[in-house]
A and B are shown apart, each in its own frame.
Chain A
Amino acid sequence: METITDIQKRIQAGERILNIAKEYEAKARADTRNIFREVFNDIEIQALAAEELIKNGKATAMTGVPIAIKDNILFEGHEAGASSKILEGYTASYDSTVVSKLRTAGAIIIGRTNMDEFAMGSSTENSAYGVTKNPIDETRVPGGSSGGSAAAVAAGLAVVSLGSDTGGSIRQPAAFCGVVGMLPTYGSVSRHGLMAMGSSLDVIGPFAHSIEDARTVYEIIKGKDAYDSTSIIIEPSGKSLKKLAVPKGIFAAGGVDTEVQQNFESILEKLKGEGYTIEEIDLPHFKNALAVYYVLMPAEVSSNLARFDGVRYGSRVGEGTIKDFYGDTRGALFGKEVRRRILLGTYVLSHGYYDAYYNKAIAVRTLIMQELRNAFSSYDAIITPTTPTPAFTIGEKANDPIAMYLSDLFTVPANIAHIPGISIPSGATSAGLPLGVQLLGEQGSESQLFAIGEEIERNR
Chain B
Amino acid sequence: MDIEQVKKLAQLARLEVPESELASVATEMGAILGFVDEIQNVQIDASSDVVGATNIFRSDVVGPIIPVHDLVEVAALHQDHFVKVPKVIGE
Contacts and interface: CB of A to CB of B under 8 A. Distances in A.
B29 A344 contact: yes
A321 interface: yes
B9 A347 contact: yes
Contact of A346 (B12, B25, B48, B63): B12
Contacts of B46: 363, 366-367, 370
Given A288-B42, A311-B83, A361-B39, A366 B17 contact: no
Contacts of B18: 331
A334 B32 contact: no
Contacts, number: 150
Interface in A295-352: 295, 302, 306, 309-316, 320-323, 325-328, 330-332, 334, 339-340, 342-344, 346-347, 350
A339 B15 contact: yes
Contact of B15 (A91, A327, A356, A373): A327
B16 A331 contact: yes
Contacts of B20: none
B51 A369 contact: yes
A94 interface: yes
A216 interface: no
Interface in B33-75: 33, 35-40, 42, 44, 46-51, 56, 58, 63, 66, 70-71, 74-75
A346 B39 contact: no
B40 A360 contact: yes
A367 B44 contact: yes
Interface residues of B, number: 48
B20 to A, nearest CB: 12
B83 A331 contact: no
Given A90-B74, A366-B50, A370-B51, A320 B86 contact: yes
A331 B42 contact: no
A323 B90 CA distance: 12
A294 interface: yes
Contacts of B17: 331, 339, 343
Interface in A107-149: none
A331 B7 CA distance: 12
Contacts of B9: 343, 346-347, 350
A1 interface: no
Contacts of A402: 31-32, 35
A359 interface: yes
Nearest to A343: B9
B50 A362 contact: yes
Interface in A362-376: 362-367, 369-370, 373
B16 A327 contact: yes
A306 B25 CA distance: 20
Contacts of B31: 401-402
Contact of B14 (A226, A291, A309, A369): A309
A226 B38 contact: no
Given A93-B74, A330-B16, A363-B44, A344 B6 contact: no
A229 B75 contact: no
Contact of B76 (A230, A310, A356, A373): A310
A229 B44 CA distance: 30
A330 B29 contact: no
Contacts of A330: 13-16
A318 to B, nearest CB: 9
Nearest to A353: B33
B50 to A, nearest CB: 6
A331 B75 CA distance: 18
Contact of A226 (B10, B51, B58, B86): B58
B61 to A, nearest CB: 10
B35 A291 contact: yes
Report, nearest first, the 5 A-B pairs whose CB atoms are least far apart. Answer: A331-B16, A363-B48, A316-B76, A327-B16, A326-B14
Interface of A: 90-91, 93-94, 200, 226, 229-230, 285, 288, 291-292, 294-295, 302, 306, 309-316, 320-323, 325-328, 330-332, 334, 339-340, 342-344, 346-347, 350, 356-357, 359-367, 369-370, 373, 401-402, 405
Interface of B: 1, 5-6, 9-18, 25, 28-29, 31-33, 35-40, 42, 44, 46-51, 56, 58, 63, 66, 70-71, 74-77, 83, 85-86, 88, 91
